[in-house]
Amino acid sequence: YALNYPNPNWKSIRVNSSTQSYILKDLMTWESYLISVSLVNNVGIGPASENVKVRTLEGIPSRAPTLIQYEPMNSTAIMIKWQGPSS
pLDDT at 87 over 70: no
pTM of the complete model beyond 0.85: no
Q: Could you give the dihedral angle defined by the CA atoms of residues 37, 41, 42 and 46, in that order, rounded to the nearest 10 degrees?
A: -60
Residue pair 40/46 in contact (Cβ under 8 Å)? The answer is yes
pLDDT at 51 over 70: yes
Domain layout of the chain by residue ranges: 2-55
Higher pLDDT, 85 or 14: 14
Encode pLDDT of 31-46 as tens digits. Answer: 999 999 999 999 999 9
pLDDT at site 72: 96
Q: Which residues pair with 71 in a beta bridge?
A: 79
Gap between the Cα atoms of 22 and 13, Å rounded: 10
Helix (H, G, I), strand (E, B) or coil at 52: strand
